[in-house]
Amino acid sequence: MFALNYAHRNQLLASLPYEELRLLQPQLELVDLPLGKVIHESGVPPEFAYFPTSAIVSLVYTTEGGASSEIAMVGPEGAVGICIFMGGTSMPIRAEVCSAGMGYRLRAHAVKAAFERSDRVKYLMLCYTQALLTQISHTAVCNRHHSVDQLFCRWLLQSLDRQHGNELLMTQELIANMLGVRREGVTEAALRLQAAGIIRYARGHIWVLDRAGLEARACDCYRVVKREYDRLLPAVKAA
């Protein structure tokens, strides 16, 4: 029963009907997700879907020239591996842990079986997919049209939403890689936020001291995406 008791830490698993979760329980495997672990490779059919409980996973696209940037992040609100039930065998992205923690994994065949036998599971996963696609599309717009400061604020807020407390264990180099910008740009943005008393930064630790101030400096992309997650995922639970 451990998985059933612990699964409430992932919003998708918590939203499943009890009977469906009970059927999946013997196949749910709680795993450690260390920083930098790649759980899905680009173009490779995934063997598992992952449901983070405390980890955060970045979905990263890499060009043929080697440049890369994050197109979405997934935490305890969601799942990694939507291609399993959307009909595709793989996706051209890499899924990499950007904040260490724990999560469940479930074999692809078990995910497909649950999706096919349960209307509730199907509805839940499609609502989540819609929210994720909103995040992907707004990340693309944000990366193209907004400043490094705005990108940095959005990224901090999205990370903060996916964990407890106000401390983030993130290096500036990692954030720069995820945003697809120069490390110096992130350093300058962090210094401006620190000077304004919004964050405190030291040795890979970022403390958010003024969330309202951070939200005021972020672009509308953050608010639009958050509204979609809030609109779709709670509605799933009440449906």
Q: Per-residue pLDDT tens for 32-91?
A: 999 999 999 999 999 999 999 999 999 999 888 887 889 999 999 999 999 999 887 788
Q: Determine contact, residues 88/108, Cβ cutoff 8 Å.
A: no
Residue with tokens 């998985």: 3
Query: For 147-218, which CATH class?
Result: mainly alpha
**How many angstroms from the chain centroid is the CA of residue 196?**
28
pLDDT category at 239 given cuts 50, 70, 90 is: very low
* Residue of 63 and 218 predicted with greater confidence: 218
Report how far apart, in Å, the C-alpha atoms of 32 and of each of 7, 39, 103, 107, 164 are.
15, 11, 7, 16, 18
| Whether the predicted pLDDT of 18 surpasses 90 | no
| 132 vs 146: CA distance, rounded Å | 20
| 144 vs 153: CA distance, rounded Å | 15
Q: Determine contact, residues 59/169, Cβ cutoff 8 Å.
A: no
Q: What is the pLDDT of residues 95-137, one digit of tens each?
A: 999 999 999 999 999 999 999 999 999 999 999 999 999 999 9
- Provide the pLDDT for residue 237: 46
For the chain, the structural domain boundaries read: 2-143, 147-218
- Provide the pLDDT for residue 75: 96
Judge: domain 2-143, CATH 3.40.605.10: no
